[in-house]
Amino acid sequence: MRYLVVVEKGPTSFGAYVPDLPGCVAAGATRAEAVALIREAIEFHIEGLRQAGESVPRPMSTSEIVDVEAA
Protein backbone atom coordinates (compact mmCIF):
# COMPACT_ATOMS: atom_id res chain seq x y z
CA MET A 1 0.00 0.00 0.00
CA ARG A 2 1.08 3.58 -0.59
CA TYR A 3 0.07 6.11 2.05
CA LEU A 4 0.47 9.86 1.78
CA VAL A 5 2.96 11.06 4.38
CA VAL A 6 3.12 14.73 5.37
CA VAL A 7 6.57 15.87 6.47
CA GLU A 8 6.91 19.19 8.31
CA LYS A 9 10.05 21.02 9.34
CA GLY A 10 9.99 22.29 12.89
CA PRO A 11 12.43 24.58 14.67
CA THR A 12 14.75 21.73 15.65
CA SER A 13 13.49 18.58 13.92
CA PHE A 14 11.20 17.11 11.29
CA GLY A 15 7.79 15.60 12.00
CA ALA A 16 5.79 13.21 9.83
CA TYR A 17 2.22 11.98 9.94
CA VAL A 18 -0.18 9.91 7.85
CA PRO A 19 -3.62 11.50 7.31
CA ASP A 20 -5.22 8.12 6.59
CA LEU A 21 -3.84 6.56 9.79
CA PRO A 22 -4.80 8.85 12.68
CA GLY A 23 -2.23 8.75 15.46
CA CYS A 24 0.52 7.44 13.21
CA VAL A 25 3.34 9.96 13.69
CA ALA A 26 7.12 10.12 13.83
CA ALA A 27 9.84 12.71 14.39
CA GLY A 28 13.50 12.79 13.50
CA ALA A 29 16.49 15.08 13.53
CA THR A 30 16.59 15.07 9.74
CA ARG A 31 14.00 14.68 6.99
CA ALA A 32 15.49 11.32 6.02
CA GLU A 33 15.29 10.08 9.59
CA ALA A 34 11.66 11.21 9.92
CA VAL A 35 10.73 9.41 6.68
CA ALA A 36 12.50 6.22 7.77
CA LEU A 37 10.77 6.33 11.15
CA ILE A 38 7.31 6.99 9.70
CA ARG A 39 7.75 3.97 7.42
CA GLU A 40 8.38 1.84 10.52
CA ALA A 41 5.48 3.54 12.32
CA ILE A 42 3.09 2.74 9.46
CA GLU A 43 4.07 -0.93 9.54
CA PHE A 44 3.72 -1.05 13.33
CA HIS A 45 0.37 0.80 13.21
CA ILE A 46 -1.06 -1.59 10.62
CA GLU A 47 0.20 -4.60 12.57
CA GLY A 48 -1.53 -3.27 15.69
CA LEU A 49 -4.80 -2.73 13.85
CA ARG A 50 -4.72 -6.28 12.51
CA GLN A 51 -3.91 -7.77 15.91
CA ALA A 52 -6.85 -5.86 17.39
CA GLY A 53 -9.13 -7.25 14.69
CA GLU A 54 -9.71 -3.81 13.22
CA SER A 55 -9.76 -3.02 9.52
CA VAL A 56 -6.80 -1.30 7.95
CA PRO A 57 -7.83 2.02 6.36
CA ARG A 58 -7.25 2.13 2.64
CA PRO A 59 -5.02 4.95 1.40
CA MET A 60 -7.38 7.74 0.31
CA SER A 61 -5.48 11.00 0.80
CA THR A 62 -3.81 12.75 -2.10
CA SER A 63 -1.79 15.92 -2.40
CA GLU A 64 -1.57 18.81 -4.77
CA ILE A 65 0.95 21.60 -5.10
CA VAL A 66 -0.72 24.95 -5.68
CA ASP A 67 1.23 27.97 -6.96
CA VAL A 68 0.10 31.38 -5.71
CA GLU A 69 1.52 34.86 -5.98
CA ALA A 70 2.58 36.15 -2.60
CA ALA A 71 2.13 39.82 -1.86
Residue 44 contacts residue 25 (beta carbons within 8 Å): no
Say what the pLDDT of residue 68 is. 94
Domain boundaries, the chain: 6-51
Distance, CA of 63 to CA of 44 (rounded, Å): 24
Helix intervals (H) in the chain: 31-51
Tens of pLDDT, residue by residue, the chain (71 residues): 999 999 999 999 999 999 999 999 999 999 999 999 999 999 999 999 999 999 999 999 999 999 999 87
Instruction: Determine if the pTM surpasses 0.85.
Output: yes
